[in-house]
Structure 1
Amino acid sequence: MTKQDIEIKTQDGTGKARLFRPAAPAKTGVILYMDIFGPRPALDQMAERLAGHGYAVLVPDLFYRSVPYGPFDPKTAFAEEKSRAALSALSGGTTQDMTIRDGAAFLDALAAEGITGPVGVVGYCMGGARALNAAATHSARIVAAASFHGGNLASDAPDSPHRKAASIKARVYVGTAGVDRSFPPEQSARLAEALRVAEVDHTIENYVGVGHGWCIEDHSVYNEAAAERHWKRLTTFFNETLG
């Protein structure tokens, strides 16, 4: 296993990313779309674990336009006024359209590193919608898209990913938190209908009894049993689609 820090030139500047490679050369890649707290050791550990299944895993900093920022402690950040305001500014100032534009640069960065095969994407929290939007925008390259505790996947916003369901050619897996104000049951139903009408091969699974953020170890609502269930679903999903 190796990891390297790289810089990615985008339409809007230069962002940092970390690339994790398995021991054996990999042609298939995964882009991990971060949650609101940004790149940090917890996400590195997740990327390393995913790379252990044979994929090259790219973890880009989606907030690169606003560096420096943080670091944030996910357990306390929303309880403190200063950090809560900073997170709101970061997430609000990094629009879906910005991340959609960045997606081409992320894919080019993988190709430049020799990862020229099919690509999967997975997003957590705010990254969930961005992963689905990436799949809709880059349908020729992205063959699998997963979201875990992703928010606003089928909201009233014009950039909500459910509106682009007809452009998605990838298989889709969505794991939802049992109780999640950012993705209530009505949004889940709306997303399911949009994907069904668009004939997207998809699964939406409700993880009953867990909260928004349950997959990531440094979150206050981390749930080890449900997190392991997420890993089983994700690795099976990627194995079936990426090989």
Structure 2
Amino acid sequence: MPKQIDIDIADGTCAATLFVPAGASSSPAVILYMDAFGPRPAMDGMAERLAGQGYAVLVPDLFYRFGTYGPFDAKTAFANAETGQFLRRMITETTQAMTAADTGAFLDALANEGFAGKVGTVGYCMGGGRALNAAAAHPDRIVAAASLHGGNLANDAPDSPAANAAKIKARVYVGVAGVDGSFPPEQSARLAQAFREAEVDHLVENYVGMKHGWCVPDHSVYDEAGAERHWKRLATLFDETLRG
């Protein structure tokens, strides 16, 4: 059964859910960084799948600073003007620096639960860049980081993952939607170049025909074949970095 935990952080209390493999007293851990629609059954199902592969999985509410909100319907939330505006505000005001700092508390929470070893990160949509920046901020603990349809990974912002590439010691996987306005081809090329120059072990992979959000089952653009492909990539990444 998943365990609900409260993580005390300087800016407040972050609610999180911890999924632990059946019968495991200790295991490698993964932090799953949510997309823009927050923790919900779709995210829980993805965390449960990773737990079934032998990983303790922490799903924190990155929007905890806003108190109670939602739930949001991933298919319709941005179509509603008021809800869309609120979501964009939450994304903007929850900065990369905030999430990078919060990740220190997430790592401590995992350690307090008995998972003090190697950690991987994976993020979707807005969580993608945060998963990569977490690896840059905590290179001593995070050994693998994955972004799926993450946006603005190599824009001109000083806090983009491309700008932080030299701080990353983890192995990195980036799955890119075939056509994604938040991560156009020129950013993909810039990100790969930044990783090469920083000597980051990485793979940036283009999912032709997939749209932004294809991995998450409650998205309108969910694609089962594309999602299964990403699960295979995650299994390889985490098996090769978190075990042993």
Single out whichever of 74-83 and 58-67 deviates more from structure 2: 74-83
State the alpha-carbon separation in 2 of the partners of residues 147 and 11 from structure 1. Answer: 27
Q: Which runs of 5+ in 2 are unaligned?
A: none
Alignment correspondent of 2:15: 16
Is 2:208 the partner of 1:208? yes
SS in 2 for 1:195: helix
Alignment correspondent of 2:3: 4
Give the Å deviation of 1:89.
1.2
SS in 2 for 1:16: strand
* Preserved CA contact (<8 Å) 2:27 2:55: yes
Alignment correspondent of 2:111: 111
Alignment correspondent of 1:163: 163
SS in 1 for 2:16: strand
Alignment correspondent of 2:125: 125
* Preserved CA contact (<8 Å) 1:170 1:200: yes
Give the Å deviation of 1:157.
1.1
Is 2:33 the partner of 1:51? no
Alignment correspondent of 2:240: 240
Task: Note the alpha carbon deviations across 1:161-195, whole angstroms, 9 max, x for none.
Answer: 11111110000000000000000000000000000
Alignment correspondent of 2:30: 30
Q: How does 1:150-229 map to 2 (within 5 A)?
A: 150-229=150-229
CA-atom RMSD in angstroms: 0.7
Q: Which amino acid aligns with 2:131?
A: A
SS in 1 for 2:164: helix
Q: How does 1:89-100 map to 2 (within 5 A)?
A: 89-100=89-100
State the alpha-carbon separation in 1 of the partners of residues 5 and 67 from structure 2. Answer: 16
SS in 2 for 1:57: strand
TM-score by length of 1: 0.98
* Preserved CA contact (<8 Å) 1:121 1:131: yes
State the alpha-carbon separation in 1 of the partners of residues 41 and 18 from structure 2. Answer: 13
Alignment correspondent of 2:77: 77
Identical counterparts, % of pairs: 69
SS in 2 for 1:162: coil
State the alpha-carbon separation in 1 of the partners of residues 111 and 152 from structure 2. Answer: 30
Count of residues in correspondence between the two structures: 242
- Flag as ranges the 4+ runs of structure 1 deviating above 4 A: none
